[in-house]
């Protein structure tokens, strides 16, 4: 039985464990139908031209973990941003770990999707927001919707901001030979609300894990949301991250994606601007080696006038790795005075690495400023020579330049501790020994 | 030559000019000074016919003709030239080609044939020498990547090429260093004769040391509040614009 | 008062297609429909050798299995391929020795199009091979060229006279089953041009072909084959105009260029087929496959000015097979009213030190959609490949669209690729600036568009550049944004 059949046939078992009378279940049943009709995407689809799921789908993943697993904090401390205090929503093999978590209901709700989907007090919010930004068409998103039950639920009311950043961490223990996880996150920042989130998926062994995650983010008028994705998983992990962001007037949403680990990572990051004077920022650093494959698909849909979007993705590809960037900007007819910028720069450092990039503009309004640029190239030989002439060996000089190339994306990271952490990850990944403190 | 009577004009319902009167005769140089936002540049744009501005009252008459219904290009054909405060970039169109088009369009309006190529070349050579302009400069795209000084010098070059009857220099001195200022002023003075007139719009007195005005007008809150000779400019420089703002309207 | 946008729009709408007239010449036309018998009859009518007939049949069988592609950003009613006549020839004498023998009505048509053959012969020094519908009716300057060993004739004639060259090269760059339209063309191509430049010869004049579509319900399927032997050079010009028609007309051409070691081919096109009227009715469907192959140190340069056709689907490409070879693509695509263009290029870097440049300028007005679609591919063995691409769009008015779909694939770490794209409009401040200098709005737009397109216009041969500039002006008159 292939994975698609297995998933479809296990939907009935799943239904035994959820409230089938809840309106959300109608959405789930509709979604499983859509997924059944469409199946997993193939390379024949334009959006999957450069990424094949075939080898991943051959694995016989368990869809529900057989038993609950526990972890001690000291085992996983290094995956937390432990230098500062944070709220934590932690899952172990897809199951909430109250032991490792720190949630709150103090003026804001930072808690679990499973509670939000079952407790009546959350129903009004769920009715308004659940699955309202996510696609009903994209097959992996519908698959997640069908099995949506657990994940993070964050609700920040008008004029509020949580006291500290929120970390969402998914651990895979590897106690299961191969596990499929489908977390579903819902994040809402009401008018003038502010929020910072760090999301991470981490396998603790080399056993294969397939994560198909969907996150919906709603930013109301004047809200500010910073979202950081740290993708540094083990070499057998596959992550499909579908993020949908709906913004209203004058809101600001910044998403940073740091992709260093994992076997195959696919990011579908979609921004929909539903108001004026919105700012959307999408930034990413990707550093790959071995046979790693990362595919960034971004969409910014400018639907109203006077909005801005900025995209800046940097990639360094070594060994037999493959990088894909497909950035789409759509500017609707009424979205006059749009400013949309997109930049994608790549460095290939191995003979066997590949980069495929497709920056795409679809413009229907005339009074707009849109531009994209992309480059594939090497490090500046003059700069290398300059460093060497100052006594820095070529290898270190190369590392330093690559570090500098990737590093400027970090300027907009507003959590200093996280910036430091990412800096270190970049340095480690590039094998650069930094003689200075960050 | 130019008669402005009780001119009221504004943009998007906002009143900027509130009753300007001004008469300019051939051979004269008028300076219009005033603080930021007093309506100096608006006056220039209205004379040149920028459509964003609406005239609610009064008139602008040039050589006996009311300009209200006259398109900007026709005003240019009649001999009105505006040196822009912020000259516009047109990528891919060289200064030379732009000038050729402009001159020939004006000639066409007057029922003349295109200017013969040799005559055009001669004029370009003369005028670029007059303004100390490098010939290479003429084959660059219009204003694209020009420095502030180059843009302004290019405006005066165009003025020289088009030989207007009335030239309005809108803040031509802003962004110029002293050498560039001297070259520009020198060009204007050389082009001056008994048949043409110049209106110099400026915030500072500095330019007027090089282009000596016959009359100085001070504009404040959309009206000319004081007129005089070149001494007025010096007095203004000394006392500052607050002096005007405080004085009751004359 | 200045010219208003409304007035401009009105004027544009009433502007009929400049070259919209139709010549009444009796035609020898096949009944509509396509099957193996039609292909055999067509091949027989053209007195082709058996290998050619078989080649066509092979392509036809391939085509039957294919489906019409849908990936392009264009929307149209698919042509009914059984409702097309696949052969039509002017009915008078098949060949003329001099222009005097040509039907005076036909000559008149050309004159109205501004293609006065005799004048062009003398003044421009251009050898003109005119394709009237499907059969070559006049070839000039053949003698001069023959002295240098240059072969320039219709492809039908080449199949008769130079079968060894045709057989060796046809289908080597665009295989018969390359894509749906190329396969159709391979099966039914009616005529086209053939050109061979011998080793070391620099062709002394621009070679030029004017294509026309002039028969109701006839599709045109030209086939062009240009071979530049080692160290040779040729500049080839292709220009098109077509009479106004109500019914959509299909055009599916194939152009193959072969530049052997150290050779250079410059291929320039000005395309101005009937774009349909202001309601989007009628107009030519233009589905073209153009591709060139570069051997060692060779260079192929495509320059195109596309102002016509209701639908344009066209990607002149270069396969940079030989080391140090160079590919260039310079394009201006203008769409107005309901036109749709999906055009661009493919640069396939296979050899070492290969270089490519792409400059694409898209101008959209009216309710049109203009797309750039390009591929830059650097193969794993293509050491030190370089590419620079620039795609700029200019939008006029708020009912049109400009789209950019660049695909960039690099498999070699020494590759250097740069891609830039921008979108802009004509600013009101630019127009006012021009007005103030005495230039009216319409002229100002022409000037600004010209400036925008300059990098490409500069690549055209002189006499073509003038025509192209005129075309840009005509195509965009009144469409101020």
pLDDT tens string B83-128:
999 999 888 888 998 998 899 988 988 899 989 988 999 999 999 9
Q: Across the beta sheet with B2-11, what order do the strands follow?
A: B14-24, B2-11, B53-62, B65-66
Helix H, strand E, coil C: the string for chain A is CCHHHHHHHCHHHHHCCCCCCCHHHHHHHHHHHHHHHHCCCCCCCHHHCCCCCHHHHCCCCECCCCCCCCCCHHHHHHHCCCCCCCEEEEEECCEECCCCCECECCCCEEEEHHHHHHCHHHHHHHHHHCCCCCCCCCHHHHHHHHCCCCCEEEEECCCCCCCCCEEEEEEECCCCCCEEECCEEEEEECCCCEEEEEEEEEECCCCCEEEEEEEEEEECCCCEEEEEEEECCCCCEEEEEEEEEEECCCCEEEEEEEECCCCEEEEEEEEEECCCCCEEEEEEEEEECCCCEEEEEEEEEECCCCCEEEEEEEEEECCCCEEEEEEEEEECCCCCCCEEEEEEEEEECCCCCEEEEEEEEEECCCCCEEEEEEEEECCCHHHHHHHHHCCCCHHHHHHHHHHHHHHHHHHHCCCHHHHHHHHHHHHHHHCCCCCCCC
Nearest-angstrom CA–CA distance, C51 and C167: 9
Q: Taking CA atoms, what residue in A is nearest to C411?
A: A354
Burial (CB < 10 A; 0-12, 13-18, 19+), residue A433, is exposed
Question: Inter-chain contact A361–C415, Cβ cutoff 8 Å?
Answer: no
Per-residue model confidence (pLDDT) at position A82: 87
Nearest-angstrom CA–CA distance, A302 and A273: 5
Question: Inter-chain contact B106–C438, Cβ cutoff 8 Å?
Answer: yes
User: Which of A191-200, B31-40, B49-58, C358-367 has maximum average pLDDT?
Assistant: A191-200
Q: Please state at what angle helix A381-389 crosses helix A394-407, rounded to 10 degrees.
A: 130
Nearest-angstrom CA–CA distance, A311 and A296: 12
Chain B hits for C433, CB-CB cut-off 8 Å, are 84, 87-88, 90
Ranking A110-114, B65-69, C11-15, C250-254 by mean pLDDT, the lowest is: C11-15
**DSSP symbols for B50-79:** -TTEEEEEEEEEETTEE-TT--HHHHHHHT
Tokens of A44: 């024949």
3-state helix, strand, coil in chain C (%, to 5): 25, 35, 40
Is the CB of residue A414 less than 8 Å from the CB of residue A196?
Answer: yes
C443: left (phi over 0), alpha (psi -120 to 50) or beta: alpha
Instruction: Provide the pLDDT confidence category of residue A191 given band limits of 50, 70 and 90.
Output: very high
Using a threshold of 3 CB pairs under 8 A, tell whether chains B and C touch.
Answer: yes
Residues A399/A402/A403/A406 CA torsion (nearest 10 deg): -160
Residue of B46, B88, B103, B154 to mutate for C, most C C-beta atoms under 10 A: B88
pLDDT at A6 over 60: yes
Q: Which helix or strand (DSSP H or E) is residue C436 part of?
A: helix C428-436
Q: Which residues of C touch A (CB under 8 A)?
A: 71, 378, 380, 393, 395-425, 481
Ranking A283-297, B151-165, C71-85 by mean pLDDT, the lowest is: C71-85
| Chain C closest-CA separation from residue B239 CA (Å) | 36
The H-assigned helical ranges of C46-179 are: 50-64, 104-112, 117-123, 142-147, 155-161, 163-169
Tokens of A348: 């290939």
Per-residue model confidence (pLDDT) at position C105: 53
Q: A184 vs A130, A208, B86, CA distance in Å?
A: 10, 20, 54
Q: Taking CA atoms, what residue in B is nearest to C449?
A: B92
Q: Residue B92 is part of which domain span? A: 2-246
Is the CB of residue B35 less than 8 Å from the CB of residue B203?
Answer: yes
A vs C: CB pairs below 8 A: 111
The 10 Å Cβ neighbour count of residue B111 is 6
Is the CB of residue C322 less than 8 Å from the CB of residue C296?
Answer: yes
HSE-CB at C203 with a 13 A cutoff on CA atoms is 32
What pTM was estimated for this model as a whole?
A: 0.82
- Percent of chain A at pLDDT > 70 equals 98
Per-residue model confidence (pLDDT) at position A26: 94
- Nearest CB neighbour to A348, from listed C396, C399, C415: C415
Is the CB of residue C87 less than 8 Å from the CB of residue C258?
Answer: no
Q: Kindly report the length of chain B.
A: 250
Nearest-angstrom CA–CA distance, A388 and B178: 45
Helix H, strand E, coil C: the string for C8-53 is HHHHHHHCCCCCCCCCCCCEEECCECCCHHHHHHHHHHCCCCHHHH
Question: Inter-chain contact A371–C420, Cβ cutoff 8 Å?
Answer: yes
Is the CB of residue A251 less than 8 Å from the CB of residue A222?
Answer: yes
Ranking A23-37, A288-302, C97-111, C324-338 by mean pLDDT, the lowest is: C97-111
HSE-CB at C379 with a 13 A cutoff on CA atoms is 15
Burial code (b: 16+ CB inside 10 Å, e: under 16) for B90-102 equals: bbbbbbbbbbbbb
Q: Please state at what angle helix A139-146 crosses helix A23-38, rounded to 10 degrees.
A: 140
Tokens of A429: 């990944």
Residue of B48, B49, B71, B92 to mutate for C, most C C-beta atoms under 10 A: B92
| Chain B closest-CA separation from residue C458 CA (Å) | 11
Q: What CATH number should be reported for the domain holding residue B12?
A: 3.40.50.300
Q: What are phi and psi of C119, to 5 degrees?
A: -65, -45
Per-residue model confidence (pLDDT) at position C88: 67
Is the CB of residue C456 less than 8 Å from the CB of residue C317?
Answer: no
Q: What is the number of structural domains in chain B? A: 1
Residue with tokens 């195959």, as numbered in its chain: A264
Q: What is the mean pLDDT of each run of 10 residues along chain C (481 residues)?
A: 43 42 53 84 87 93 89 84 73 47 54 48 41 44 79 88 93 91 90 91 79 49 93 86 56 93 94 79 87 97 90 93 96 90 94 96 91 94 94 89 92 92 88 93 89 89 75 69 41
Per-residue model confidence (pLDDT) at position A116: 94
What is the β-pairing status of strands A252-259 and A279-288?
A: parallel
Instruction: Provide the pLDDT confidence category of residue B32 given band limits of 50, 70 and 90.
Output: very high
Computed over every residue of chain A, the mean pLDDT equals 92
Q: Taking CA atoms, what residue in A is nearest to C394?
A: A366
The 10 Å Cβ neighbour count of residue B245 is 12
Q: Which of residues 21-50 of A touch C (CB under 8 A)?
A: 46
Residue with tokens 């080399």, as numbered in its chain: A206
């Amino acid at each position: 039985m292939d994975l698609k059949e297995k998933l479809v046939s296990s939907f009935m078992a799943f239904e035994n464990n959820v409230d089938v009378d809840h309106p959300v279940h109608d959405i789930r049943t509709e979604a499983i139908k859509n997924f059944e009709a469409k199946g997993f995407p193939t390379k024949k689809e334009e959006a999957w031209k450069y990424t094949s799921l075939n080898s991943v789908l051959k694995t016989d993943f368990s869809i529900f973990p057989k038993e609950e697993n526990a972890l001690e904090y000291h085992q996983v401390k290094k995956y937390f941003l432990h230098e500062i205090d944070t709220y934590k929503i932690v899952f172990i093999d897809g199951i909430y770990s109250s032991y490792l978590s720190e949630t709150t209901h103090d003026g804001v709700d930072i808690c679990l999707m499973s509670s939000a989907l079952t407790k009546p007090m959350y129903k009004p919010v769920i009715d308004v927001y659940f699955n309202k930004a996510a696609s009903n068409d994209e097959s992996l998103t519908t698959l997640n919707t069908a099995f949506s039950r657990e994940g993070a639920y964050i609700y920040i009311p008008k004029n509020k901001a949580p006291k500290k950043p929120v970390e969402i961490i998914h651990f895979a223990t590897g106690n299961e030979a191969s596990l499929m996880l489908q977390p579903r996150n819902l994040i809402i920042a009401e008018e003038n609300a502010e929020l910072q989130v760090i999301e991470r998926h981490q396998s603790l062994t080399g056993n294969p894990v397939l994560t198909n995650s969907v996150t919906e983010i709603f930013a109301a008028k004047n809200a500010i949301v910073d979202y950081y994705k740290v993708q540094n998983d083990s070499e057998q992990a596959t992550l499909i991250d579908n993020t949908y962001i709906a913004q209203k007037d004058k809101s600001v949403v910044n998403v940073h994606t740091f992709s260093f680990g994992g076997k195959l990572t696919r990011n579908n990051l979609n921004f929909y601007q539903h108001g004026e004077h919105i700012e959307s920022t999408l930034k990413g650093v990707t550093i790959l080696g071995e046979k790693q494959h990362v595919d960034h698909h971004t969409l910014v849909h400018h639907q109203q006038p006077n909005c801005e979007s900025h995209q800046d993705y940097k990639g360094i590809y070594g060994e037999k790795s493959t990088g894909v960037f497909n950035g789409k900007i759509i500017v609707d007819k009424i979205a006059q005075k749009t400013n949309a910028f997109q930049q994608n720069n790549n460095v290939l450092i191995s003979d066997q690495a590949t980069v495929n990039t497709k920056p795409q503009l679809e413009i229907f309004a005339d009074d707009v400023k849109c531009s994209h640029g992309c480059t594939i190239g090497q490090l500046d030989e003059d700069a290398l020579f300059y460093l060497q002439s100052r006594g820095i060996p070529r290898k270190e000089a190369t590392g330093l330049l690559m570090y500098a190339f990737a590093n400027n994306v970090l300027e907009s990271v507003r959590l200093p501790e996280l910036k430091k952490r990412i800096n270190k990850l970049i340095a480690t990944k590039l094998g650069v020994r930094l003689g200075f403190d960050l | 030559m130019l008669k402005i009577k009780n001119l009221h004009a504004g943009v998007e319902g906002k009143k900027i000019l509130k009753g300007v009167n001004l008469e300019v005769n051939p051979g004269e140089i008028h300076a219009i000074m005033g603080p930021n936002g007093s309506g100096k540049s608006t006056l220039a744009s209205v004379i040149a016919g920028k459509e964003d501005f609406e005239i609610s009252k009064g008139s602008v008459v040039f050589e006996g003709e009311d300009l209200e219904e006259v398109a900007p290009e026709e005003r240019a054909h009649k001999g009105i030239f505006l040196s822009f405060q912020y000259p516009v970039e047109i990528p891919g169109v060289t200064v030379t080609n732009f000038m050729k088009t402009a001159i020939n369009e004006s000639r066409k309006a007057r029922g003349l044939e295109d200017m013969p190529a040799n005559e055009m070349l001669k004029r370009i050579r003369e005028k670029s020498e007059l303004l100390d302009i490098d010939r290479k400069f003429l084959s660059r795209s219009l204003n694209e990547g020009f420095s502030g000084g180059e843009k302004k010098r290019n405006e005066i070059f165009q003025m020289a090429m088009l030989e207007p009857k009335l030239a309005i220099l809108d803040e031509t001195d802003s962004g110029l260093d002293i050498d560039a200022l001297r070259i520009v002023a020198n060009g204007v003075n050389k082009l001056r004769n008994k048949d043409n007139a110049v209106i110099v719009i400026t915030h500072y007195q500095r330019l007027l040391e090089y282009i000596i005005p016959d009359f100085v007008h001070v504009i404040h809150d959309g009206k000319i509040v004081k007129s005089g000779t070149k001494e007025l400019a010096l007095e203004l420089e000394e006392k500052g614009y607050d002096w005007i703002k405080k004085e009751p309207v004359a | 008062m200045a010219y208003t946008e409304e007035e401009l729009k009105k004027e544009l709408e009433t502007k009929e297609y400049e070259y919209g007239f139709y010549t009444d010449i009796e035609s020898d036309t096949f009944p509509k429909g396509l099957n193996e018998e039609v292909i055999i009859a067509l091949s027989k009518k053209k007195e082709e050798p058996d290998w050619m007939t078989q080649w066509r049949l092979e392509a036809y069988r391939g085509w039957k299995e294919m489906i019409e592609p849908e990936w392009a950003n264009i929307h149209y009613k698919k042509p009914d391929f059984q409702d097309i006549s696949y052969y039509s020839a002017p009915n008078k004498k098949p060949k003329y020795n001099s222009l005097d023998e040509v039907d005076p009505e036909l000559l008149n048509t050309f004159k109205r199009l501004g293609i006065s053959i005799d004048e062009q012969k003398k003044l421009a020094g251009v050898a003109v091979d005119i394709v009237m519908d499907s059969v070559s009716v006049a070839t000039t300057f053949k003698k001069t060229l023959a002295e240098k060993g240059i072969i320039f004739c219709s492809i039908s004639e080449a199949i008769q006279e130079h079968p060894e060259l045709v057989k060796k090269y046809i289908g080597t760059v665009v295989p018969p089953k390359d894509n749906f339209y190329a396969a159709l063309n391979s099966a039914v191509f009616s005529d086209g041009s053939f050109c061979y430049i011998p080793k070391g010869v620099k062709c002394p004049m621009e070679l030029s072909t004017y294509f026309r579509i002039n028969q109701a319900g006839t599709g045109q399927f030209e086939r062009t084959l240009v071979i530049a032997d080692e160290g040779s050079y040729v500049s080839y010009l292709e220009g098109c105009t077509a009479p106004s028609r109500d019914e959509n007309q299909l055009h599916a051409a194939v152009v193959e260029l072969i530049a052997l070691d150290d050779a250079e081919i410059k291929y320039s096109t000005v395309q101005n087929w009937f774009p349909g009227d202001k309601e989007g009715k009628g107009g030519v469907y233009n589905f073209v496959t153009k591709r060139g192959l570069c051997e060692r140190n060779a260079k192929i340069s495509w320059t195109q000015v596309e102002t016509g056709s209701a639908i344009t689907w066209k990607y002149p490409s270069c396969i940079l097979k030989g080391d140090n070879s160079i590919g260039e693509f310079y394009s201006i695509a203008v769409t107005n009213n309901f036109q749709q263009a999906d055009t661009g290029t493919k640069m396939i870097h296979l050899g070492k030190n290969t270089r490519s440049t792409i400059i694409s300028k898209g101008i959209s007005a009216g309710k049109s959609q203009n797309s750039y679609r390009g591929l830059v591919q650097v193969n794993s063995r293509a050491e030190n490949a370089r590419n620079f691409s620039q795609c700029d769009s200019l939008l006029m008015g708020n009912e049109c669209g400009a789209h950019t779909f660049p695909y960039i694939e690099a498999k070699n770490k020494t590759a250097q690729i740069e891609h830039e794209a921008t979108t802009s409009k004509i600013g009101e401040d630019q127009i006012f600036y021009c007005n103030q200098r005495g230039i009216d709005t319409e002229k100002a737009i022409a000037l600004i568009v010209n400036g925008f397109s300059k990098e490409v216009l500069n690549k055209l041969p002189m006499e073509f550049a003038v025509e192209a500039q005129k075309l840009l002006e005509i195509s965009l008159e009144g469409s101020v944004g």
